[in-house]
Structures are given as C-alpha cells and as structure tokens.
Amino acid sequence: MSSFRELGLSEQILTALDELGFEEPTPIQERAIPPLLQGYDVIGQAQTGTGKTAAFGLPLLQYVDPSSDELQAIVLTPTRELCIQVTQALRSYAEHLDIEIVAVFGGQPIAQQAPRLRAGAQVVVATVGRVMDLISRHIIVLTAARFVVLDEADEMLDLGFIDDVEKILRMCPAGRQTALFSATMPAPIARLAERHMFHPVTIKVTPKQLTVDAIEQAYVVTSARDKVKRLREVLRAEDPEQAIIFCRTKVGAARLDEQLRAAGLRCKALHGDMSQGQRDGVMIQFKEHKLPILVATDVAARGLDIEHVTHVINFDIPGSTETYVHRIGRTGRVGRTGRAITFITPDQERDLQRIAREAKTTIGEWEPPEERLEHAPRPRRRERERDRDREGEREERKPKPAGRNGLAKLFVNRGRRSGIDQDDLRWALEEGAVVPGDAIKRIEVLERFSFVELPPAEAELAVDRLDGTKLKGKQIRVEFARS
C-alpha cells in the first residue's frame, strides 16, 4: 500500500488530507490517482464508499491553476444529493488551495448560482439538467474545461441523462482529460467511453473488496404476508444505530414507512414522489443522526454517503448483483464493520444464491445477535481485532495526560485558519458533548489547532462525543494532548 505522499500529491493537498485524518489511500485511490496526475483518461468501476471522490478529486484540484479565473474542471453528477456531497468533499480537500468550487443543481434559483459562476468559478460540480440550462443561458462556458469527471455514470443513464452528457462532452475541448466513474458498466456507458475517451486506463474495484471483509451478510426467509412482522422482529433484535431499508418501488417504500411508524418505530421514507424540500429535510435529519431508520428506493438513496450506517436491510431482494453490492456498500465503511440483511420468500432462494455466487461472498441465515455471538468462529482476523480491543482496554486504564492542576488537556486539530474561535469550541463542548459550562477551564485557539482544559471525566466525554464530528462544516479530531 502506497502513502498519499508517494502518489505524487502536492504539499497543500497532503496537509489537508492529514488534517482530515486520511491515513492510507483506498485501492481505487491508489490505482486511479497516479494515472490521472500523469494526464491519462481513467475509467473507474467502483461503488459508493470506496473513496472514489478523492480518487478523482485530488488530481482534479492539483490540475487547476489558481491564477486563472476560467472554468477549468467540471464534475457531472446524476442527483442533487451527490452534487452537494462531492462539493463538500472537494472543498475540504482544497482547504489550503486558492480555488473556487461552486455547486449548481436544480431546486435552487439560477439567480443565486449565476453570480458565483460569473465571479470566477474554477471548478463546477453540477447536475446534468442544470448545466444544460446554464449553458443555454451562456452562464457556463466549457471552452476551457480541460478536466471532466462523470460521477456515477450508470445512474445518469438510468435517469435518462445520457444524451445530455454526450452534448456536454462535445462542448468541452477535444484535448481534455476525462474520468468516468460508475458502479456498473452497461453497454451504453461503455459506448460513451469509447466515443469520448482517449486510451483510458481502466480500474475495477471488485465486489469482493467491498463486501467480504467489512460487511457481515445474512438472509431471512419469510412469507410475503409475514414480511413486515419479521422485519420488526429483526429491527428489535439488531437495534441498529442507523439503518437504511431498501424497497423496490416508491409505493412500497411509502407503505412500509407508514407500517413501521404505526408500530412505533422512528423512521422516514425517501423516494422520488416526494418534493425536493421534503427529501432534503429527511436527508439532513438522517445525516445529523436525528433519524435512526431510512426507508428508501435505490434512485432516491443514490449518492447518500453516511459514515455511521450500521445496517443495510434489503426488504425487497435487489434485481441484480451490482445493485446488491451497491446497496450494502453503504455500510461497513473504511475502519468500521456493518450488517447487511436481505429478506426473501421461499421462491427467491435461488436468486439469493446467484447473488452470493456472483459477488463471491457468503450470505448465511440470520441469527439474533446473542446467538450469533455464541456461534461465531474466531478466525485470525477476529483474533487480531480481539487483541487490539484488549490492548485498547489496557490503554484506557492508564492515567490520561493532564494539564495544569490535575486538569486534562485536549488537542483539537482546527484553529483560526479554519474559521474556528473560542465561542465555537465552547458551543461544541456544551451542546455537542454536553459538558457543563463551568467545567471548561481554558480554551486556547491557535492558527492551525486549539487546546482545551477540562476535568478528566468531562474530557473523556468530549473526546468520545466530538472526535470525528464536524464543526462549522469541517471535520475535527479531538484527542488527549501528548504533553
């Protein structure tokens, strides 16, 4: 495994990655970043959760010339949600670069987006329909867009955008560099790549890399009549921190949402018949951990990238192996384990066996957590995890580094450069970590990081609740200061 530094990234980008807590590149990043930095076109077949945004985003940012106000790079996305997610990621990677990144998507007035574009947007992240509209109004001009990314191209095909994508590509310079990322590679996408890309380097992250190591998979056999009842039993037993339940249709998602809420479960639906405002509201609640269960269709949840999803439940078995892999890839993110549970009727057992065979994985019959623990084997990987857990427990029993007068001193990896001041940290401690105001003895904000002094018990609470969260839109690391 290479380090990010060995991939050839600039110091400003490496600094941002370090501040974000990135340690090692994922397989798609390790294989895609070098050829993109060398100027090659790249086709990446990878699902959400593999780190593909950084795979194309880091070379894109290194390519852009901050001294030029021209639109130099464009990222096309199929949905508003993915557009917002990619923009947030690129802005975090570009924290130490003087690059203007603008998101444009439907549902927001063009009058708000046009001034930002005319002010000198160097990178535009956009939904296909809105780009076409802005091009027709001569607000977006692509004559200097020499770095083009198609993100989740198969979804653009499913939503009927592929013809517009072709038109947009024809408006970009012939000598542009193109990156195409797609979870699957249907024939129309392969033909588009053949027409519009020049000797592309093809990279494929196989389903096995996404499913076997990080995600525990199981199935539940039930009759169609008892399906909702069995789902409630599974949810009660699993007690997920956050779960996405996938349904095949919009009507099915809406109906299941009503049935679960009637049974007293806290959940909301996400499907295409909802207004954009309703969908945004549900997305925000789920991302902010205020909603434990999301009942969604595949299209509505496309681009939904949530770090803490512990369970993915296929209430309706997916129609293809690719869809199965893409769905369950939303849990078991880097450094975490996840659970994927698929409900089937007796006549669907063959379909599930085919999915398991094609995905090169094992899907066992569901057991309640207590029985699963009792029957669980201990292969070497689990032995290593158990040893690490024991080591962690021993570390926890050691006294924590203290500041003055027996207080614990915490390090926060953000400071004035990130727009954070004492009031922001005090608010995070009081509201996010529920630390009493009088327990906060000292806050010192420096240029790139900060220090906080608290009694040891409150310091433990602050580390547990704040580390890895976001403050003013930026992820923060909170840990005990080394000295």
Residue-wise pLDDT for 141-162, tens only, equals: 999 999 999 998 988 887 789 9
Domains of the chain: 5-205 (3.40.50.300), 209-368 (3.40.50.300), 404-480 (3.30.70.330)
Residues 6+ apart with CB under 8 A from 31: 203
pLDDT surpassing 90 at residue 268: yes
Phi, psi (rounded to 5 degrees) for 480? -70, 130
Q: What is the pLDDT of residues 1-13, one digit of tens each?
A: 578 999 999 999 9
CA distance readout (Å), 161 to 128, 150, 168, 327? 7, 12, 11, 22
Structure confidence by residue, pLDDT tens digits, 333-392 = 544 557 899 999 999 998 999 898 888 888 888 887 656 544 433 333 344 444 555 555
pLDDT band at 273 (very low <50, low <70, confident <90, very high): confident
- Higher-scoring residue by pLDDT: 288, 43: 43
Query: What value does the mean pLDDT take over residues 423-444?
Result: 88
Who wins on pLDDT, 183 or 173?
173
Task: Give the per-residue pLDDT at 220.
Answer: 95
Q: Can you give the pLDDT at residue 171?
A: 95
Question: What's the chain look like in SS3?
Answer: CCCCHHHCCCHHHHHHHHHHCCCCCCHHHHHHHHHHHCCCCEEEECCCCCCHHHHHHHHHHHHCCCCCCCCCEEEEECCHHHHHHHHHHHHHHCCCCCCCEEEECCCCCHHHHHHHHHCCCCEEEEEHHHHHHHHHCCCCCCCCCCEEEEECHHHHHHCCCHHHHHHHHHHCCCCCEEEEEECCCCHHHHHHHHHHCCCCEEEECCHHHHHCCCEEEEEEECCCCCHHHHHHHHHHHHCCCCEEEECCCHHHHHHHHHHHHHCCCCEEEECCCCCHHHHHHHHHHHHCCCCCEEEECCCCCCCCCCCCCCEEEECCCCCCHHHHHHHHCCCCCCCCCEEEEEEECHHHHHHHHHHHHHCCCCCEECCCHHHHHHHCCCCHHHHHHHHHHHHHHHHHHCCCCECHHHCEEEEECCCHHHCCCHHHHHHHHHHHCCCCHHHCCEEEECCCCEEEEECHHHHHHHHHHHCCCEECCEECCEEECCC
CA distance 293 to 269: 9
Whole-number pLDDT of residue 333: 54
Mean pLDDT of 399-416: 74
**Given this model, what pLDDT does residue 332 score?**
60
- 35 pLDDT band, cuts 50/70/90, is very high
pLDDT value of position 4: 92
What CA–CA distance (Å, rounded) separates 167 from 226? 49
pLDDT-above-70 percentage for the chain: 85
Among 439, 445, 429, 449, smallest CA distance to 407 is for: 439
CA 14 vs CA 94, 271, 475: distances in Å: 10, 38, 16
Give residue 370's pLDDT: 57
Residue 81 exposure: Cα atoms within 13 Å on the Cβ side: 25
Angle at 142 between CA 138 and CA 143, to 5 degrees: 110
Mean pLDDT over each residue of the chain, to the nearest integer: 84
Per-residue pLDDT, 398: 45
* pLDDT at residue 372, as a whole number: 56
The torsion of the CA quartet 57, 62, 63, 66, rounded to 10 degrees, works out to 110
Let me know: does 149 contact 200? Beta carbons within 8 Å: no
Could you tell me if 129 and 79 are in contact, meaning their C-beta atoms sit under 8 angstroms apart?
Answer: no
440 falls in which pLDDT band (50, 70, 90)?
A: very high
pLDDT at 264: 93
End-to-end alpha carbon distance in the chain: 32
Cα separation of 301 and 307, whole Å? 14
Mean pLDDT of 86-109: 89
Average pLDDT, stretch 60-76?
A: 95
Strand 215-221 and strand 267-270: pairing? unpaired
Mean pLDDT of 243-267: 93
